[in-house]
Every structure is written in C-alpha cells, then in structure tokens.
Structure 1
Amino acid sequence: MDLLIPEIGLIFWHTVSFLILLFLLTKFAWKPVLKAIKERENNIQNALDSAEKAKLEMARLTNENEQLLKQAREERDNILKEAKVLKDKIVAEAKEHAQVEGAKLIDQARREIEDQKTKALAEVKNQVSSLSLDIARKVLAKEFEDQGKQEALVSDLLKDVKLN
C-alpha cells in the first residue's frame, strides 16, 4: 500500500517539476504551437476567401459569357434578318428587271412583226400590181391584135365620153 499513497516530498517535487515543465512549454513551445495554429487558421481562411472570390469570379464570368452568347445570338439573328431582306430585295429587283426586259423584248418583237407584216403586204401589193399589169398587158396585147376589135373599142369609149 505504500505504493498507492505518495509522500509529500514526492508530490512537492512532482509539482515543482510540472510547473517548471509548464513554464518551459509556455515560454518556448506554446507560442510557436499557437503561432503555427494561427498561421494554419489564417491559411485556411485565406483559402476559403480565395475559393469564395473564385466562386464569385466564376459566377461573374458565367454571367458575362451568357450575356456574350445572348448578344451573339441577337447579332446572328439581325444578320440573318438583314440577309433575308437583302435576298428578297435582290429577288424582287431581278424579277422587276426580268419583267422590264421581257416587256422590251415583247414590244421589240411586236414592232418587228409589224415591220415584217408591212413589208410583206407591200411586197404582196407590188407583186399583185406587177401581176395585174402583166395580165393587163397580155389581155390588151391579145385584144389589140385584131384591128376590128381595136376600132370597136375606140368607138365604144368615144360613145361614153361626152363632149362639152
């Protein structure tokens, strides 16, 4: 049982050595340990702050990217609308130009047809008059071959003519 009950001297020296150890630990080890813990705490806080900043930056960049995408879509839509308007305008101009050219060609063809028709009619008239003159010459030549017929024709013509 003596081992279970310590003596006063032993308790005193244990207390003194504990206090010296406590003093030495406080003086030399406690401050560096607290300093290391404080640095660790600051590093963790800085990492959390950096993570928060990175999160905010990512949110800002995401928002900015969405705005850029929206703007790009709007520009694309505007370009497509302008292209469609331009295409419609070009098609309309081409149709109008084609109609004008077609009308010019039709008018030119009509004038050519009229000219050809007029020339053909003039040629037919010339041929008819030429044929008529040839026929009349031949008929008159045949009629005037006989002298008696000539005199009868002259006398008939003279009867029709009245002198004033």
Structure 2
Amino acid sequence: MDKLINDFSFGLFVWMGVLFVLLVVLLKKFAWKPILDAVNDREEGIKNALASAEEAKKEMQNLTADNANLLKQARSERDAMLKEAREIKDQMISEAKDEAKEEANRMIELAKESINQEKQAALAHLKKEVGELSIVIAEAVLRKELNSQEDQVKLVEGMLQDVTLN
C-alpha cells in the first residue's frame, strides 16, 4: 500500500506538473499576452500622462514667466506714463505761472500808464486852474491898483520896457 500511495503521489505529482505546465502554456498563449499588453499599454499611458504633466508644468512655468514679464513691462509703462504726466503737470503749472506773471506785469504797466496819464491830466488841469486863478487874482489886483489913469500908463510903460529888454 505504501507503494501504491507513493506511486499515486508520484503520479499525482506528475499530473499536477503536467497540468501546471499546460496551464502555464495556455495562460501564456491566451492570457499573458493580453495581460502584458494591457500592463504595457497602462505603463505607456502612465508615461504619456507623466510626460504631458511635465510638459504642462513647463508650459505653466513659461506662462508664469511670460505673465511676470508682461506685469513688469506693464508696471514699467505705467511708471513711464506717470512720470510723463507729472512732467506735463509741472510744465503746465510753470506755463500758467509764467502767463500769470506776464499778465500781472502787463496789468501793472497798464496801471502805471493810466496813473501817469491821469497824473498828467491832473497836472494840466491844475495848471489851467492855477492859470485861471492867477488871472482872476491879477485882474482883481490890477483893478484895485489901477483905478487911476496914471497908474495904468505906468504899468504899461513898465511892461513895455521889460519886453524890450528881454
């Protein structure tokens, strides 16, 4: 019986080996290839996804760098525009001050001319008034002093001598 069990065990072992080899051959022919193809396809898909992710990462870095450059450029342009606006403002203020000074000087000159004209007119009027007043006073003095014919003749003779001497 031991021999039968040993033979049976050995036979069972051989059959199990044959079945295992047959199973491996069948699996290799029908299952391993699709499984390996699926694993390879999966591995290739993962590699492609990683490559795409890496490419997307590089593209994102490039976009970030481009955005940073655009932002820097925009800030530079903004600063230049603000500087130009300040310069224009300062220039406008300076021009307005100069125009105001010129206008003030022009108005002062006009006022001086007006004052001089009024002064000349006042002096002329004053001279006229003084002249008229002098004539009135002289007339009154002469009437009082030259009541007589003799005084009038003496005055006329004195004036003629002054005129001929001058």
Q: Settle same-fold status: TM greater than 0.5.
A: yes
- State whether structure 2 residue 52 is matched by structure 1 residue 50: yes
Which residue of the partner structure matches residue 151 of structure 1?
Answer: 150
**TM-score, with normalisation over the residues of structure 2?**
0.86
Following superposition, the deviation at residue 7 of structure 1 comes to 2.5
Distance 1:25 1:159 in 2: 168
Give me the whole-angstrom Cα distance separating, in 2, the residues matched to 1:136 and 1:11: 175
SS in 1 for 2:61: helix
CA distance in 1, matches of 2:61, 2:22: 56
* 1:47 alignment partner AA: A
Pick aligned residue for 1:72 from 68, 71, 74: 74
- Give, in angstroms, the shift of residue 60 of structure 1: 0.2
Q: Equivalences for 1:13-28 in 2 at 5 Å? A: 13-28=15-30
Deviation at 1:48, TM superposition (A): 0.6
Q: Which residue of 2 aligns with 1:116?
A: 118
The AA in structure 2 aligned to 1:18 is F
Give the partner amino acid of 2:47: Q
Match of 2:95, SS? helix
Question: In structure 1, what is the equivalent of residue 142 of structure 2?
Answer: 140
> How many aligned residue pairs are there?
159
The 3 A distance-change label for structure 1 pair 22 and 142 is same
Matching residue's letter, 1:128: V
Name the CA distance, whole Å, in 2 between partners of 1:37 and 1:152: 158
* Distance 1:55-1:156 versus aligned 2 partners, 3 A rule: closer
| Cα gap change, 1:45 to 1:156, in 2 (>3 Å) | closer
